Amino acid sequence: MAIVKMKKLTLAAAACDADELMQKLMWTGSVEVSDAASSVEGDGRLTPDERFSNKLSELYSRLGGYEKAISFLKEYEKAPKGLFAKRRSYGRSVYDSPSEIFLNADRITLKAREIESGIDDILTDESRIRASLAFLAPWKDFDLELSVRGTLTTELVAGSLPRDVSHNELRDELAIECESAILETVSESENASYICVIALKEDLDKIGSILARKGFIRADFSAYMRCASEEYSLLSQRSEMLEIERSNLKTQAMKLAQELDVIRLACDVTETEAAKTEAQKKLICTSSAVILSGWVPEKKIGEIDKILEGYECYREFADPEEGDDVPVLLSNKSIAKPFESIIDMYVLPTYGSFDPTAIMAIFYFIIFGLMLADVVYGLILAIGGFLALKKLDLGKGIKQLVKLFAICGISCTIAGVFLGSYMGDLPSAIVTAFGGEAFEMPLTLINPLEEPILFIVVSLVVGFVHMLVGLGIKFYVVCRDGSFLEAFFDVGGWFIVFAGAGLIFLHKIVGISVLAVGIVVMMIGGALKKKGIFGRIIGGFGAVYGFVGFASDLISYSRIMALGLTSAIIASVFNILATIALPSPIGFVLFIVVILVGHLLNLGINIIGTFVHASRLQYIEFFGKFYEDGGRKFVPLTTREKYTSITDPDKQD
């Protein structure tokens, strides 16, 4: 439960050792490299090495090729995909010698590119052939070669007409204008008819005008030489050949997909090399030396020092100075670790301030449980979450979030026992449907549907304690910073007031007296923050006005009851719908469908609402009492593991 202390690392080493040093520092995952090069911009003797920019360009170009190959080949991979896909593990030595990996990956990528290009070309050809076959199909009974355009004195005009045009009427019309014109019907379809007109060339204009009025579309046979049936047959044969070629290429792709792990490893190695190169760009470089500036967690100094002892170099670990942009790293025990994700979604505390993760985790656990209080829902969350952690290969961020929901599932189960919710009132609803009497489950302390007032009182009590702890943290932080008087007047007054309010129930006069002292202390604290008589008067009364804000924040905790009640009511409605037709055979079917669909829907909707509102109560009502935001996350130089994972260095690949 702390913000890790940071040390500023300054390292000067020989240029020939720079790459090896960066690699070893990267494996520690404990050094954030600062942009030292920008501080000496313009000094020609101390500039980032141009090699790094060129190397980065090369790495990202290579990475693009690998990603494209993965995108293509994964469609032909037989291994499990999606959530159930397992990442392959490798030892560190693989990352330390990337040349061979790149060589193999480049070979596979090149082959994948050739296969993909071949398949794309075939698909293009097939699309063209399909269009040609569709075009030629109506003309298969047309015996003339499609290259024939006519004779010296005649012209052949072929094309299509709308289906509703009468050919007999068209023949009559053509006969009137051009006695020598001949119209032949080639074929008919649902929407069109296909005709051929032979006429003297001198009559073409008349023929064209008549046909245009009828909606005639002339066919373009310029791409064909043989008769339509021959062209159709040849294209069909070509289509079959292309299908065989495409099948062969797909077989090659499936075989090549067996080597996808090589490209995946190359992707991660490339990403890691790029990260290291990005860090090297931040170094100050000369022809013989490099200077690194960065941040290291204090607890990691020994590990870093041990690495640097093997090199001729100068290093210094210094405390942060005023004005330094010190990164923030939270350190919490495993049970509280998942709750760091809640803080990450908000904003990190400033360096040197208070890390509330562990305390927040306790209240988040309680509030989440009360909002989604149901034994079965909680078990689904807990068991499902822990199974997902065990069976699925999840990324670090997702893993922490799943662990958070699994832990909160336990709180939902516990709260569900005391609120008597087992998929709402399902046990009682089933008994009632079979003629029994409604009942409450054992250990039920509060029934939200029948005792909402008691439930809201519990919610407000939890909220009051939550905010009181927030004030206590502020008192501790202010005292820790040496401002004891400020802590007493600014925060201590609140505790005196609350103590007085409690004492009123034991001894009215004593309670009122203590309450009055607390108010005076608060007014003095508010007045001390202001200057001038008028300002101090306003400040004093303003401090007392803080009770309004406190009361407003306290009322916000009524959302605990609201969400808990909403979940219970929706569950109860689905239970009524599910049992309405019992005990008939159709009723059993309806029961199973409604229970599965309805309660999964209720669980899904309320998980989202509970997560959002439980987080909001931390961000606004709790953090608002003491939290100092604005911290920057500690981002160390480390490996990038998207497709693979790294085993312990002592293990085999």
pLDDT in tens, 506-538: 878 887 888 788 777 777 766 666 666 666 666
> Cβ contacts of residue 73 below 8 Å, gap of 6+?
112, 253, 256, 257, 260, 263
If we measure between CA atoms, which residue out of 25, 35, 32, 97 comes closest to residue 308?
25
Helix H, strand E, coil C: the string for 123-183 is HHHHHHHHHHHHHHHHHCCCCCECCCCECCCEEEEEEEEECCCCHHHHHHHHHHHCCCCEE
In 420-507, which residue ranges form alpha helices assigned H by DSSP? 426-433, 452-480, 484-487, 493-503
Helices 585-616 and 375-391 meet at what angle, rounded to 10? 80
What is the per-residue pLDDT across 374-409, written as a single tens digit (0 to 9) for each? 999 999 999 999 999 888 888 788 889 999 999 999
Of all residues in the chain, the percent with pLDDT exceeding 70 is 93
Angstrom distance (rounded) from CA 109 to CA 76: 14
Sheet of strand 327-328: strand arrangement: 327-328, 629-633, 348-349
- Residue 652: per-residue pLDDT: 39
What does DSSP assign to residue 620? Answer: I
> Start-end ranges of CATH 3.30.70.2750 in the chain?
148-220
Whether pLDDT at 540 is above 90: no
- Residue 43: per-residue pLDDT: 53
Provide the mean pLDDT of the chain.
88
- Residue 530: per-residue pLDDT: 63
617 neighbors 559 (Cβ within 8 angstroms)? yes
How remote is the C-alpha of 66 from its chain's centroid? 22
First to last CA, the chain: 36
Angstrom distance (rounded) from CA 524 to CA 501: 19
Confidence of residue 243 (pLDDT cuts 50, 70, 90): very high
What does DSSP assign to residue 491? Answer: I
Confidence of residue 179 (pLDDT cuts 50, 70, 90): confident
What is the per-residue pLDDT across 8-28, written as a single tens digit (0 to 9) for each? 999 999 988 888 899 899 999
Confidence of residue 81 (pLDDT cuts 50, 70, 90): low
- Residue 651: per-residue pLDDT: 41
Whether pLDDT at 80 is above 80: no
Region 546-571: mean pLDDT is: 90
Angstrom distance (rounded) from CA 588 to CA 592: 6
Region 621-626: mean pLDDT is: 92
495: tokens are: 């505790």
- Residue 536: per-residue pLDDT: 61
What is the per-residue pLDDT across 244-280, written as a single tens digit (0 to 9) for each? 999 999 999 999 999 999 999 999 999 999 999 999 8
If we measure between CA atoms, which residue out of 500, 49, 99, 541 comes closest to residue 287?
49
547: tokens are: 């009770």
What is the per-residue pLDDT across 193-207, written as a single tens digit (0 to 9) for each? 999 999 988 888 888
Region 164-175: mean pLDDT is: 88
In 137-184, which residue ranges form alpha helices assigned H by DSSP? 167-177
Angstrom distance (rounded) from CA 63 to CA 44: 32
Angstrom distance (rounded) from CA 298 to CA 317: 9
Least confident of 14-18, 215-219, 500-504: 500-504
Amino acid letter, 489: F
The DSSP H or E segment spanning 92 is helix 92-96
CATH 3.30.365.10 assigned to domain 148-220? The reply is no
Which neighbouring-strand residues pair with 7? 296
48 neighbors 279 (Cβ within 8 angstroms)? no
367 neighbors 641 (Cβ within 8 angstroms)? no
378 neighbors 414 (Cβ within 8 angstroms)? yes
What is the per-residue pLDDT across 448-487, written as a single tens digit (0 to 9) for each? 888 999 999 999 999 999 999 999 999 999 888 878 877 8
If we measure between CA atoms, which residue out of 536, 522, 444 comes closest to residue 489?
522
Whether pLDDT at 493 is above 70: yes
Q: What is the pTM of this model?
A: 0.82
Which neighbouring-strand residues pair with 316? 10
